[in-house]
Amino acid sequence: MICRNSVYSQSDKLIIEKYAKVLIFIGIFVG
């Protein structure tokens, strides 16, 4: 993954975690 700054990496982590949860939820819902 791309890390630019510590602040950006923290916000990216939160966004990635939320996105991962959504993807997992969709995966369970669809599959």
Q: State the SS3 of 1-31.
A: CCCCCHHHHHHHHHHHHHHHHHHHHHHHHHC
R_g of the chain, CA atoms, integer Å:
12
Q: Tokens representing 1? A: 């993954």
Domain boundaries defined on the chain: 1-31
Confidence at residue 22, expressed as pLDDT on a 0 to 100 scale = 95
pTM, full prediction: 0.52
Angle, CA 23 vertex, CA 20 and CA 26 arms, to 5°: 150
Q: Are 15 and 2 in contact (CB under 8 A)?
A: no
pLDDT tens digits for range 1-31: 555 656 666 788 899 999 999 999 999 999 7
